[in-house]
Amino acid sequence: MSRQTNDSQTVKNYLSGNKEANQLIDKYIQTAFSRWQHKFGFETDDIISDVRFKIFVSLKNGDFRSDAKLETYINRIVNHTCIDMKRYTKKFTSNEIFDILPTHLFNPEKETELKQVARLVFRVLRQLPRECITMWRMHLYQNMNYSEIGKTMGKSEGNIRRRIWACRETAKEFRGKILKKDKHLEN
């Protein structure tokens, strides 16, 4: 049996829930990620979760064409995800999460819950355009109204209202996808 046939069968088995195929793909992920693991000073579970989801969606959509080895294809997804994360963390530090969260969320008795919320917020925010984060910071942290934000950004008040609304809707969509993905991966 050729490598292409083996890889195609592995993908088919993986998508049908085959345990051995899942373990093989997980092995490919872990091998590729092992080169990156030391570069991340925070929990790597989110990155692995994102990689697994991207691979699942990609394979389900038929994006893998067998012109390269499956292991190479997975390695590429891992590398791109890690590169994106490194670029993003340079632009957006975890301290900024707390800048835009309303202060009423902080309660020492609920530290674990706050960490979970902060991780979810971080995962959502890293997918949003930088403009959304900038506008939210102005609105929530600097207490600027839409008109003031518009003057600062050179846009009309109505435009800022629409953009903030669109950012909120996009964030809700990303949040739903993340929660759905995490639920899917737990099964």
Name which of 25, 49, 61, 23 is nearest 183 in CA terms: 49
CATH number at residue 63: 1.10.1740
Same domain? 11 vs 47: yes
Same domain? 77 vs 101: no
Same domain? 110 vs 58: no
Token pair 């085959």: residue:
18
Of 70, 91, 112, the position where a domain reaches its end is: 91
Same domain? 100 vs 69: no
pLDDT of residue 28: 93
Q: What is the pTM for the complete model shown?
A: 0.49
* Domain count across the chain: 2
Parent domain of 55: 3-91
Same domain? 24 vs 49: yes
Same domain? 145 vs 133: yes
pLDDT in tens, 61-106: 888 887 789 999 999 998 888 887 777 666 555 455 555 555 555 5
Of 52, 75, 91, the position where a domain reaches its end is: 91
Q: b vs e for 23-60, b when ≥16 Cβ sit within 10 Å of the residue's Cβ?
A: ebbeebbeebbeebeeeeeeebebbbbbbbbbbbeebe
Provide the 10 A C-beta neighbour count for residue 93. 9
Of 38, 60, 91, the position where a domain reaches its end is: 91
Angle at 125 between CA 92 and CA 37, to 5 degrees: 60
pLDDT in tens, 11-26: 999 989 899 999 999 9
